[in-house]
Each structure stands twice: as structure tokens, then as C-alpha cells.
Amino acid sequence: MADQQLPAANGHSNGDSGVPEEVPELPNYLYKALERLAPREGFTEGKFSIAFDFGSSKGDGFVGQMFKAIISEGGRQEVYLCKIPPLDDARREEFKSMTAFAREAFVYERFLPLFFDYQRQKGVRSRDDGFFHAPRCYYAYCNEAAQESVIIMEDLRLREFRLWNKHDPVDYEHARLFMTHIGRLHAISLAMKRDRPEQFEQFKLPNPFDEMLKEDSPFRNMILSQVQMVIDALDEDDTVTRAKMEQLKEDVFRELLRCGDPSLAEPYAVVGHGDCWTNNMMFRYQDGSPQEIILLDWQVLRYVTPAQDLVYFIFSCTDGAFRRKHYEEMIDIYHSSLSAMLERLQHDPNELFPRSALDEQLHQFGRYGILMGMFLVPMMCTRADELPDIEAMAKQMKETNQLNESFFKTTESNKEAYSKRISDVVKDSIRYGYF
């Protein structure tokens, strides 16, 4: 039972080489969590068994690992996805996994239940009208001091949800679905902030990874290397664009902090998902067309400008050809969805977030698309067998307190695709007046 094969996601499978890999020894706290869950799910204490399989592929997560738990009793079998911090000590510690898990456990225990309840209290109860688009969470636990955490969720593949192939830029229908639902999520923030300010205060959270930007952080050299990769990908004759990127390299840490400063976005700051790329969303299809979206991996949820989620997605997950055809329409779809949601929540969108304010936010913070694209685009252009050894990098960081290289390097197989996509990210940012 532990090695049953679930249907593969779009461009996603349980292994890259085809050679079976042994599930490692898993921590006792994971077994205990499942033993607590099983009776709540109708299993009989002392009569059920638990088996494990891998739950994701290489490259699908840096700060956590996913395992599939199969609980069986008699003829009944249920599958759950269990997300835990990395088993490797260096990887867990150096990549600040416990910080991320504390945030995601908070999201499932507090944020999402209150956001869902707020919508229902305002008369929005349907998935067709509101934002209820997160996986069902059965159990969330985090003890940062003990370095223990587990989040037990439904396996969306069993409901025929699929990941988009992260190597391909998204198409119109997938992008439209995302922009519609992120608009709803942001609208709930704006409305709840107005209606329940004291309750909303707990959600004004910073980026959990801002400490990576500190002067003594081992990630600083890596971040500078990612910027240099962008510069190297630009046409040598395009001196204006290269000069802009050279200046961004000088300012990159200040710019990352500026783009994440919610005080600069008020009164329009929202609770953003924070990690809006295609591996953190799944789609359900009908006749080949995506009909439903679920947002995953809420580990960097924070209070920030709404522009962050938009430019993160658009500049990392679409390409230049798509943006030339659909960029303005995508922004229109977002704001129309946000406005309609605010009206369902009994608020005036022209008061809480007029279109002119959105345009100002995009112009003020739009270069965040470059700052995230420099990390995401190379990963999307890199084959699974060429992904970096994260545990080796973590070991180097632990030993030297430095990470003196990019996460992703160009190779013969990805150089052309990377250069084209990242160059378009920079040029489009200039075209839209963000950079």
C-alpha cells in the first residue's frame, strides 16, 4: 500500500529516474500526529496501520518535505499528505524551515478559518462567489523550539487536481483563474480590515524571510549572484537595460525591503499569499479547460502591497509573448474580481481600492517582478536532474556561513530559454514603467 501510484500531475510525477527510492525513517512526532488524527477520521484505535510513500518530486520545495500517509483498517484505506520540515539538520536550520512552518501552521489554524468565517458572516458561502480555495487541513502543529512540525492535508490529486508543468509559461485560462481568485483573497483583506480591525491586526505579519537580507546573512552573496545572472543574460549592446540592472544590483537589498514594507502601501496593504508561482497552485479540469484552482504552500503569507502577488505571478509564470497580448487584461480581471468581491462583502470598491490606487501600487512596487523572477525563472528553466543539491548547499552554509553561488546556474540545456524569459521580464518591467 505504501508504494501505490497516484495519478501523475500535469508535468509532475513521483520520481525522476524511474528507480524506486526508499522512504527514509520518519520522525516519531509524525506518527503521533497521524495516530491522533486517525480516530477523528473514524478509524478504530489499535486496529489501523500507517504506511508511507513520497508525496512530491525533487525541486518542489526547499523548506519542507512531503510524504504520503496511507491509513488502513480492514477494507478501508485513506490517503493524506504530510508536510514536515527537512529531515536533514543543516537544510532545516540553514533554510529557516521552522520559521516557515510556524507561519503555515498559523495560516491553517487561524488565518484561513477566520477568513472563511468572515465571508460566511457576510453572506458569501459559495466557492463560486468567494475565496475558499485552499486544501483541507486535518491537522497543523508546530513547535519551533523542538524543531517539530507537521501539516496533514488532503491529497488533491485524489479529487483530480493537477499541477501545471512548471517548465511551461501558463496560458490564458490558467492565468485568468489565478487573477480572479487572488483578487477575491485581497478583497477579503480590505473588507475585513475595515469591518474587524482588532481581529485583523494579528494578520499584519512581516515576511518571515526578511532576515535573509541582513548584512551578516549567508544568502547575500547568493542574491547578488542571481542578479548577476540576469545581467549576464542581457544583450551586451543593450547598455541602457544593463545599466539599470547594475544599479538594481547596488540597491537590491534595499529594494527587497522597500517592496515588502506595508507602511508604504497603506491604506491598501493586504494579506498576500506571498509565493504565487505555478508549483503552489493546482487546477481541476473539465474538457481540458481549468475550472477550479487551489492555492498551496502558505509559508510566506504576509501583510504587504497587493502588487506583490500580481507581479510575482505575472513576471515569473508567464512569458513576454503572453504579457504583450494579455497583461493589461489580466490586471483588469484582477481588479474586476476584487471589486465584485468587495461589493458582495458590502463595501464600495471605489472607496477601499479604486483602480487608480492599483495602478499607483503597481508603479511603486512593480519591479518586485524582477526581484522574484531572478529566482523563479531559472528554476522553471532547469531540468529536474540539473537542480542543485540543496542539502549540500545547506552543509556549505553551515560550515562557512556563506552561500557563494546562485541557486540555479545556466547550462547548455537551459541557457537559451532562460536568457529569453528573463530578458523579457526586465524589458517588460521597463515598458510598464516599473523599472
Q: Residue 52 is placed in which grid cell? A: 508511507
Distance CA 385, CA 18 (A): 12
Domains of the chain, by residue range, sit at 24-154, 160-432
Output the 3-class SS for the chain: CCCCCCCCECCECCCCCCCCCCCCCCCHHHHHHHHHHHHHCCCCCCCCEEEEEECCCCCCCCCCEEEEEEEEECCEEEEEEEEECCCCHHHHHHCCHHHHHHHHHHHHHHHHHHHHHHHHHCCCCCCCCCCCCCCCEEEEEEECCCCEEEEEEECHHHHCEEECCCCCCCCHHHHHHHHHHHHHHHHHHHHHHHHCHHHHHHHCCCCCCHHHHCCCCCCHHHHHHHHHHHHHHCCCCCHHHHHHHHHHHHHHHHHHHHHCCHHHCCCCCEEECCCCCHHHEEEEEECCEEEEEEECCCCCCEEECCHHHHHHHHHHHCCHHHHHHHHHHHHHHHHHHHHHHHHHCCCCHHHHCCHHHHHHHHHHHCCHHHHHHHHHHHHHCCCHHHCCCHHHHHHHHHHHCCCCCCCCCCCCCCHHHHHHHHHHHHHHHHHCCCC
pLDDT at 153: 98
> Residue 160 contacts by C-beta under 8 Å, 6 or more apart in sequence?
7, 284, 285
pLDDT at 162: 97
> Residue 264 contacts by C-beta under 8 Å, 6 or more apart in sequence?
258, 305, 364, 365
pLDDT at 53: 95
pLDDT at 384: 80
Residue 66 φ/ψ region, left for φ over 0, alpha for ψ in the -120 to 50 degree band, beta for the rest: beta
Q: Are strands 76-84 and 148-154 parallel, antiparallel or unpaired?
A: antiparallel
User: Would you say the C-alpha torsion 358, 360, 361, 367 has a positive or negative sign?
Assistant: positive
Q: Which residue has the cell 512526532?
A: 29
pLDDT at 7: 36
24-154 classified as CATH 2.60.40: no
> Hey, what long-range contacts does 159-162 have (CB within 8 A, 24 or more apart)?
159/284, 160/7, 160/284, 160/285, 161/9, 161/282, 161/283, 161/284, 161/292, 161/294, 162/9, 162/10, 162/12, 162/282, 162/283, 162/284, 162/285
Query: Mean pLDDT per segment of 10 residues, for the chain of length 435 residues?
Result: 34 46 94 98 97 78 89 97 95 92 98 98 96 98 97 97 96 98 98 98 95 86 93 94 97 96 98 97 97 97 98 98 98 98 98 98 98 94 82 80 69 86 97 96
Considering the domain 160-432 in this protein, what is its CATH number? 3.90.1200
> Pick from 312, 299, 307, 302: which is nearest to 272 by CA?
302
**Contact predicate 345/130, CB 8 Å:** no
How many residues in the chain?
435
